[in-house]
Amino acid sequence: MKLLRYGPAGQEKPGLLDDQGQVRDLSGIVSDIAGDTLTTEGMDKLRGLDMDALPVVQGTPQESLRLGACVGNIGKFICIGLNYADHAAESGLDVPPEPVIFNKWTSAVVGPNDDVMIPRGSIKTDWEVELGVVIGTGGSYIDEADAMNHVAGFCVVNDVSEREYQIERAGTWDKGKGCDTFGPTGPWLVTPDEVGDFDNLSMWLDVDGKRYQNGSTATMVYKVPFLVAYCSRFMSLQPGDVISTGTPPGVGMGQKPPTYLKGGEVMRLGIDGLGEQQQKVTKA
């Protein structure tokens, strides 16, 4: 299944994408793509529906029909840093001996085609295409061998980052990662059975038509099951939490000379089987 949320910002309704690319309304079945809807029991309920009997929503998704973030009421937006060997190399840093964990504030979450806003005073706003993992069944101290039973699905995340705030302004990475609009998520949550080999997905990002990132989840150092188990050692994972798993090379900071967003650009990014995002960059 491809689950989504559609409608005006703050008024999104739950839906799914059918085989013809139409949005089907789920608001008569569930209140949101969030919480208990994402548990094993909730997802089994959705799988049992007759898709053709669900109401068709008018409009083309991501064109005439706005999509919100594919997960509602995200509780924790957990991010993993330096998790691609080739990205660590372009950053001039060693692969960390354990995963680097930081957070995006949930106020950063926006839809996949909403504008990304450069904060006031920013001089180093950057881009990062990432594979997002959506937790379905929660838990603590999850075994790596059982980790995928806790995953509801996958999605595209743009881990927008302000590098001066992140690296040069003292404190933790969170300062440069959680600004408003810095977490475009979606367009849809794709269940694992439709994703296939999530360890070998092509991923890319363009700015104004120029390809900057062109990588694969194959170069991820710490894989998805390990990350789910690892994060669950430090916090209980709950339905609707999102883990953004790191980015391949090609970020602005890694260019020679470094290249950052100034406002007016258009970012376009995607991951095989998970859809595409597109954002216009504006100034606060």
- Among 118, 102, 100, smallest CA distance to 162 is for 118
Confidence of residue 93 (pLDDT cuts 50, 70, 90): confident
Q: Average pLDDT in the 90-119 region?
A: 94
Q: How many CA atoms lie within 13 A of 263 on its CB side?
A: 10
Please tell me the predicted confidence (pLDDT) of residue 115: 98
**127 and 205 in contact (C-beta within 8 Å)?**
yes
Q: Show Cβ contacts of residue 78 under 8 Å, excluding neighbours closer than 6 positions.
A: 101, 103, 231, 235, 241, 242, 243, 244
Q: Is the predicted pLDDT of residue 85 greater than 90, yes or no? A: no
Please give the domain boundaries of the chain with CATH numbers for all domains.
Answer: 68-283 (3.90.850.10)
pLDDT tens string 118-172: 999 999 999 999 999 999 999 999 999 999 999 999 999 999 999 999 999 998 8
Confidence of residue 88 (pLDDT cuts 50, 70, 90): confident
Please tell me the predicted confidence (pLDDT) of residue 171: 84
- Residue length, the chain? 284
Confidence of residue 255 (pLDDT cuts 50, 70, 90): very high
Q: Show Cβ contacts of residue 256 under 8 Å, excluding neighbours closer than 6 positions.
A: none
Q: Is the predicted pLDDT of residue 194 greater than 90, yes or no? A: yes
**DSSP symbol at 118:** E
Please tell me the predicted confidence (pLDDT) of residue 89: 81
pLDDT tens string 16-37: 999 999 999 999 999 999 999 9
Q: Average pLDDT in the 70-81 region?
A: 97
Record the pTM.
Answer: 0.97
Question: Is the alpha carbon torsion for 251, 178, 69, 131 positive or negative?
Answer: positive
